[in-house]
């Protein structure tokens, strides 16, 4: 017999299953003594190394058996043992593993997981009279008790799931759906149930497509079908592999960015969003997606089971990735310098980051897949049936169990169908193959599972901005070196060395601030990215306003006795502006406390979150921030007014013309970019827009100032070195030389014209 079945397993899967299901041969029926002190329970689970669910299923199975063995109220004189075989997520492997369990004399088996595997094994076990209790196989076609006489399942049929999914669509007023399903028994029977339920609710299926269950189908026909149907809601009735393949492909096309997915239970219960996405696309692409999963039942039932699972004792490669995604850490790293050990307090770890080494003392408390609860129910169902046969046989009515000397799989199956027991997911009673009554939970990607939108150094725009900032810092360094090196030249002495250095220092602060603005949000970055640009602006604006104000006074005051602008005057005027800025920033920081990054939910899309820098008192923060902006705006406006008033001064003062250009540039940036910044909204992409607006304003303002103020100086200096006579600088006129009598703004002075142009000549 064994040789025959092994031969059949080498044939095509479908052919082998059909033959095995119709075997009519006499074979030994497995049994155990009624008073057996040890009974082995079989398990058919997907123990593949790339399965994230495998450890949980196996641990739930073992945990349920362990609890039963410790409970004297059920099977007090019998110890349950277990034998687990790997289905490898493959129906042929499931058949072979199922055969091995039969050969070892088992009278009951829990599993398999998928409907395809269950279809194969159930047909095999129908010949051996072995009850097969599946905890996850929900295909509608498995409900046929004539075709699957020894099959039971603790999870509901897909016909129930289909009704729930269609009711959700109706509730949300989704009248047009695209239905894509896998070509296996799970997908085809699921589609039939969906079609029937949708027709009853007048919901149109605009696109109907079938794909291979192994995810090997081309996704182009699927995408074309969805686009042609104009459906904005796509129902994927398939396993996690196939769903992942289709979603990954769709995420690369801009036409699908507003698609909402409905998930069947085979992939709606994925362990974590990160483990499903696998870094292939942004988690935000799944925003709004929802699905249904069988109700998880009493989670507290599992509290003592899963802390035993650790990377050290769990030999699954996918489990390590799950551990890292769940606890925001890395198990090992070759990074130099090495990463630090993580904070033992999980609440202190930033979600979505892996910048520390796991302590390996982290613990899982809750099962990530709700279907593990149905493993518990299946094990407890077998244990209850055995208990009644051994100790309360008089309660059972379907057969004379009290006269049994041994228990066969058929005896156990009859007891299971007669019993009603309370399991982890509620009352359980079987009607043929199916469980009577069921409940589903609607699941949606939790807002905490969506990685908050923010800018970091890996963002392409951030990289470009930082490259230009680096070039700006190099240019600032060059001009600073050039000015210091040539500080004794006439050109530099004419414009004042201190003036130049203050401007360059302010420009440098603005460039450096862009790096903090581009970094991932942190308390330090939130505060430094505000302090640096405002201090830089005060170092730029202070000396500019000081110089222009002195020039304006020269032409509007009768009492001024000195035309030159001394370092003392420059420092006095500039320091007042810089000190004001420092005081204002200190009040903003000390009164409200430092800004910290917080995650904010969008008002237009509840599934879109982003990180902002905020203070505890948001109202006071708003008013102080507006006041700070208004004060700096007044400085710009004062500069623009002074620039206008001194626009026609003598060429000896023509540096004010370049200062005026800078002031006009600041004004344009404020008028154009500030409204854009504050009206950028909070929808998807708003974080990038605000970052780009703010970065471009700072980058353009600093660069324009640097080039406008220092390129002409360098050019003039180099020209002066080549030909000093031709490029002689105009000399500022001395007060003693001015003798011409002119009435100007109520002032009457007597001046003597000199060979130098009079400051008032152009005002005639």
**Which tens digits make up the pLDDT trace of 344-383?**
888 788 766 788 899 888 877 666 667 788 999 999 999 9
- Which among 421, 436, 451 is the end of a domain? 436
In three-state secondary structure terms, 434 is: strand
In a shared domain, residues 554 and 675: yes
Residue 215 CA to residue 198 CA, distance in Å, equals 26
Confidence at residue 360, expressed as pLDDT on a 0 to 100 scale:
84
Question: Which residues, 6 or more positions from 365, have their beta carbon under 8 angstroms from its beta carbon?
Answer: 302, 303, 306, 307
Answer yes or no: do 609 and 654 share one domain: yes
- Rounded to whole angstroms, the Cα distance separating 266 from 268 reads 6
Question: Is residue 393 situated within a structural domain?
Answer: yes
**Which one of 244, 268, 292 terminates a domain?**
268
Least confident interval from 46-55, 334-343, 662-671, 752-761: 752-761
469 three-class SS:
helix
Rounded CA gap, 505 and 308, in Å? Answer: 58
Q: Is residue 549 part of a domain?
A: yes
Whether 37 and 116 map to the same domain: the answer is yes
Check whether residue 526 and residue 665 sit in a common domain.
Answer: yes
- Give CA–CA dist 151/110, Å, rounded: 10
Q: Which of 584-593, 664-673, 704-713, 723-732 has the lowest mean pLDDT?
A: 723-732
Rounded to an integer, what distance in angstroms lies between the CA atom of residue 750 and that of residue 496? Answer: 30
Give me the phi and psi of 133, to 5 degrees please: -115, 110
239 lies in which domain range? 158-268
State whether 150 and 202 are in the same domain.
Answer: no
User: Per-residue confidence at 44, pLDDT binned at 50, 70, 90?
Assistant: very high
Same domain for 234 and 106? Answer: no
Asked, for residue 282, whether it belongs to a domain, the answer is: no
> What is the per-residue pLDDT for 182?
93
Both 179 and 262 in one domain: the answer is yes
Least confident of 112-116, 416-420, 562-566: 562-566
254/379 same-domain check: no
Q: Helices 497-518 and 686-722 sit at what angle, rounded to 10 degrees?
A: 150
Only one residue has tokens 């790096």, namely 515
Does 48 lie in the same domain as 127? yes
CB within 8 Å of 211: residues ≥ 6 apart: 180, 181, 182, 183, 217, 219, 222, 238, 242, 246
* Mean per-residue pLDDT of the chain: 82
For residue 453, being part of any structural domain is answered with no
Q: Please check whether residue 348 lies inside any domain of the structure.
A: no
Q: What is the pLDDT of residues 516-550, one digit of tens each?
A: 999 888 889 888 999 999 999 999 999 888 888 88
The domain that holds 555 is classified in CATH as: 1.20.1070.10
Q: 255, 402 in Cβ contact below 8 A?
A: no
Average pLDDT, stretch 188-195?
93
Query: Which is higher by pLDDT, 266 or 126?
Result: 126
Whether 146 and 168 share a structural domain: no
Asked whether residue 311 is domain-assigned, the answer is no
Count of domains forming the chain: 4
Write down the pLDDT at residue 743.
Answer: 42
Structural tokens at position 295: 């109700």
Q: Output the six-digit token pair for 286.
A: 């799944």
For every residue of 280-349, which 3-state class applies, written as one string?
Answer: CCCHHHHCCCEEEEECCCCHHHHCCCHHHCCCCCCCCHHHHHHHHHHHCCECCCCCCCCCCECCCCHHHC
The contacts of residue 694 (CB under 8 Å, 6+ apart) are: 517, 673, 677
- Considering the domain architecture, whether residues 743 and 713 belong to the same structural domain is answered as no
Determine if the pTM surpasses 0.75. Answer: no
Q: Residue 107: its pLDDT value, please? A: 94
- The CATH number for 245's domain is 3.40.50.2300
Q: Rounded to an integer, what distance in angstroms lies between the CA atom of residue 208 and that of residue 195?
A: 10
714-726: average pLDDT: 75
Within a domain: residue 192? yes
Is the Cβ–Cβ distance between 45 and 54 less than 8 Å?
yes
Which tops the pLDDT comparison, 352 or 570?
Answer: 570
Residue at 232 is within a domain: yes
Domain-ending residue, one of 268, 290, 323: 268
Does 511 lie in the same domain as 400?
A: no
Rg (CA), the chain: 39
Q: What distance in Å separates the CA atoms of residue 597 and residue 678, rounded to the nearest whole number?
A: 19
Question: Out of 400-409, 416-425, 673-682, 727-736, which region has the weakest mean confidence (pLDDT)?
Answer: 727-736
The arithmetic mean of pLDDT across residues 615-636, rounded, is 81
């Amino acid at each position: 017999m064994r040789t025959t079945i092994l031969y059949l397993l080498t044939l095509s899967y479908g052919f082998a299953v059909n033959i095995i299901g119709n075997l009519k041969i006499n074979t030994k029926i497995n049994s155990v003594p009624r008073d057996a002190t040890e009974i082995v329970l079989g398990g058919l689970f997907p123990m593949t190394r790339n399965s994230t669910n495998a450890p949980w299923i196996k641990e739930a199975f073992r945990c349920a058996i362990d609890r039963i063995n410790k409970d004297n109220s059920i099977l007090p004189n019998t110890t349950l043992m277990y034998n687990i075989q790997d289905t490898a997520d493959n129906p042929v492997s499931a058949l072979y593993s199922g055969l091995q369990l039969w050969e070892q004399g088992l009278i009951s088996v829990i599993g398999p997981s998928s409907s395809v595997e269950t279809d194969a094994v159930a047909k095999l076990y129908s010949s051996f009279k072995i009850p097969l209790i599946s905890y996850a196989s929900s295909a509608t076609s498995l409900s046929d008790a004539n075709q699957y006489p020894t099959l039971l399942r603790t999870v509901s049929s897909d016909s129930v799931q289909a009704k729930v999914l269609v009711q959700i669509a109706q509730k949300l007023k989704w009248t047009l759906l695209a239905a894509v399903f896998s070509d296996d028994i799970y997908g085809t029977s699921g589609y039939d149930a969906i079609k029937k339920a949708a027709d009853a609710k007048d919901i149109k299926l605009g696109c109907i497509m079938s794909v291979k269950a192994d995810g090997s189908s081309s996704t182009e026909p699927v995408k074309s079908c969805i686009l042609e149907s104009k459906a904005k809601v796509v129902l994927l009735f398939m396993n996690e592999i196939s769903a992942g393949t289709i979603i990954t492909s769709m995420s690369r096309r801009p036409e699908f960015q507003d698609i909402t997915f409905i998930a069947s239970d085979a992939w709606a219960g994925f362990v974590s969003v990160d483990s499903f996405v696998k870094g292939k696309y942004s988690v935000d692409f799944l925003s709004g997606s929802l699905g249904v999963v069988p109700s998880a039942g009493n989670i507290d039932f599992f509290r003592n089971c899963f802390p035993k699972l650790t990377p050290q004792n769990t030999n699954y490669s996918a489990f390590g990735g799950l551990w890292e995604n769940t606890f925001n850490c890395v198990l090992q790293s070759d990074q130099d310098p090495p990463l630090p050990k993580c904070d033992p307090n999980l609440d202190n770890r930033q979600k979505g980051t892996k910048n520390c080494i796991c302590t390996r003392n982290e613990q899982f408390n809750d099962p990530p897949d709700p279907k593990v609860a149905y493993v518990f129910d299946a094990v407890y169902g077998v244990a209850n049936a055995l208990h009644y046969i051994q100790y309360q046989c008089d309660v059972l009515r379907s057969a004379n169990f009290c006269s049994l000397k041994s228990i066969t799989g058929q005896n156990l199956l009859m007891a299971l169908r007669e019993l009603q027991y309370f399991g982890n997911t509620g009352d359980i009673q079987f009607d043929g193959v199916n469980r009577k009554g069921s409940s589903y939970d609607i699941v949606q990607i939790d807002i905490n599972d969506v990685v908050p939108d923010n800018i970091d150094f890996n963002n392409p725009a951030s990289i470009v901005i930082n490259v230009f900032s680096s070039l700006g810092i190099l240019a600032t360094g060059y001009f600073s070196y050039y000015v210091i090196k040539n500080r004794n030249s006439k050109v530099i002495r004419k414009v004042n060395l201190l003036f130049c250095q203050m401007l360059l220092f302010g420009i440098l602060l603005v460039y450096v601030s862009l790096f903090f603005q581009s970094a991932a949000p942190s308390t330090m970055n939130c505060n430094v990215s505000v302090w640096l640009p405002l201090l830089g602006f005060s170092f730029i604006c202070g000396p500019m306003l000081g110089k222009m104000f002195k020039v304006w006074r020269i032409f509007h005051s009768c009492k001024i006795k000195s035309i030159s602008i001394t370092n003392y005057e420059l420092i006095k005027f500039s320091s007042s502006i810089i000190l004001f800025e420092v005081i204002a920033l200190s009040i903003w920081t000390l009164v409200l406390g430092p800004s910290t990054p917080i995650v904010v939910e969008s008002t237009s899309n509840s599934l879109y979150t982003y990180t902002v820098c905020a203070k505890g008192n948001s109202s006071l923060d708003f008013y102080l921030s507006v006041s700070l902006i208004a004060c700096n705006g007044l400085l710009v406006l004062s500069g623009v007014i002074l620039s206008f008033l001194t626009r026609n001064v003598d060429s000896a003062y023509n540096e004010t013309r370049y200062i005026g250009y800078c002031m006009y540039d600041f004004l344009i940036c404020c008028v154009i970019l500030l409204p854009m910044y504050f009206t950028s909204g909070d929808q998807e992409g708003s974080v990038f827009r605000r970052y780009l607006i703010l970065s471009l304003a700072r980058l353009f303002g600093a660069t324009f100032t640097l080039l406008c103020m220092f390129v002409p100086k360098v050019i003039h200096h180099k020209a002066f070195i080549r030909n000093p006579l031709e490029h002689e600088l105009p000399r500022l006129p001395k007060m003693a030389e001015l003798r011409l009598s002119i009435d100007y703004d109520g002032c009457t002075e007597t001046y003597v014209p000199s060979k130098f142009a009079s400051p008032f000549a152009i005002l005639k």
